[in-house]
Amino acid sequence: MNSTTNNPTHDAHDHLRHATAAHVDRIHEDIDRVLVPSAAIASRVRALGAMIGEDYAHADGRLTVVPVMTGSLLFAADLVRALPQRRMRIQLTTVSSYGGKSTTSGGSSVVGALPKHLEGHHVLIVDDILDSGGTIRLLRAEFEACGAASVRACVLLRKRIPSAMATPCEYVGFEIGDEFVVGYGLDFDDLYRNLPYVGSLRKEAQVR
Ligand code: 5GP
Ligand code: MG
């Protein structure tokens, strides 16, 4: 018999490993359709990184990337690693949108303090999805008021709806239809952010 079999620590770890595997399986089962596969995300992020890197070639030491938490966590983490900049900064911000769990309505507000020391910096807002446009419009106005040298926005997804299409946004990963999506950072009730792709949630899973 293996000498670790009766070790309670190992038993707990084994239990956790199996529980995690079961959870991951369940997560995939809640997905109706994959809209953007992980390989497509990876190659688009590389292309965006190259494009943005070139556009900000003049901004070495004066580029500040501002990921909007929590939805852009995964996208921003991958995007900054695709940037060739020698010196850049990352400052997080959180924006709350009012409205239901799977929709957003008009009002957006910044939670907590705004990023500091943006004066003279080229600010790149990074968000998960452009929907009503409230988040990007709000942050752009705030950062311009802070004296940023320039403010641009980059989103992984943009919904093909009038409010999103009418919101200025310099870099867009993918356009999708008007539906609620999860994965690669995007959540439903704080779940599904860890999916490696973007997909739509089954109706049955859209309950608390
Ligand atoms: P906006 O301010 O453009 O209306 O919306 C931005 C925020 O609304 C996103 O950062 C995201 O948190 C949330 N959101 C909008 N559409 C979706 C969606 O289809 N799925 C998820 N998970 N969040 C969304
Ligand atoms: Mg968000």
3-class DSSP string for 50-73: HHHHHHCHHHCCCEEEEEEECCCH
Instruction: Please report the pLDDT score of residue 56 as a whole number.
Output: 98
- Supply 151's token pair: 């403010």
Query: Per-domain residue ranges for the chain?
Result: 8-205
Pick the ligand that lies closest to the CA of residue 181: 1
Instruction: Give pTM, 2 decimals.
Output: 0.87
The one-letter code for the residue type at 71 is G
Q: Helices in the chain by DSSP H: which ranges?
A: 8-29, 38-55, 73-81, 134-145, 162-165
- Supply 192's token pair: 């599904």
In this structure, the residue with its CA closest to atom 9 of ligand 1 is 129
Query: Is the pLDDT confidence value at 14 over 80?
Result: no
Residue % of the chain over a pLDDT of 70: 83
pLDDT tens sequence across 75-125:
999 999 999 999 999 999 999 986 544 444 458 899 999 999 999 999 999
Q: 194 φ, ψ to 5°?
A: -85, 0
Distance 131 CA to ligand 2 centre (A): 10
* pLDDT, averaged across the chain: 89
Query: Is the pLDDT confidence value at 1 over 80?
Result: no
Residue 156 near residue 128, CB atoms below 8 Å: yes
Instruction: Please report the pLDDT score of residue 97 as a whole number.
Output: 81
Residue 124 near residue 65, CB atoms below 8 Å: yes
pLDDT tens sequence across 193-203:
999 999 999 99
Residue 92 near residue 75, CB atoms below 8 Å: no
- What mean pLDDT do residues 3-9 have? 46
Q: Which of 36, 129, 174 to mutate to test the pocket of ligand 1 (most atoms within 8 A of CB)?
A: 129
- For residue 195, give the H/E element and its range: none
Instruction: Please report the pLDDT score of residue 24 as a whole number.
Output: 56
- Supply 37's token pair: 């596969």
78, 127, 128, 131: the catalytic one is: 131
Pick the ligand that lies closest to the CA of residue 157: 1
Instruction: Please report the pLDDT score of residue 28 as a whole number.
Output: 87
Distance 130 CA to ligand 1 centre (A): 6
Is the CB of 163 inside a 6 Å radius of any atom of ligand 1? no
Residue 54 near residue 85, CB atoms below 8 Å: no
pLDDT tens sequence across 144-161:
999 999 999 999 999 999
Query: Is the pLDDT confidence value at 140 over 90?
Result: yes
In this structure, the residue with its CA closest to atom 8 of ligand 1 is 104
Q: How far apart are the C-alpha atoms of 129 and 134, rounded to whole Å?
A: 11
Q: How far apart are the C-alpha atoms of 47 and 55, rounded to whole Å?
A: 12
Instruction: Please report the pLDDT score of residue 141 as a whole number.
Output: 97
Q: Residue 27's pLDDT band (boundaries 50, 70, 90)?
A: confident
55 is catalytic: no
Distance 187 CA to ligand 2 centre (A): 9
Instruction: Please report the pLDDT score of residue 107 as a whole number.
Output: 82
Distance 182 CA to ligand 1 centre (A): 10
Q: How far apart are the C-alpha atoms of 178 and 173, rounded to whole Å?
A: 16
The one-letter code for the residue type at 206 is Q
According to the CATH classification, is domain 8-205 in 3.40.50.2020? yes
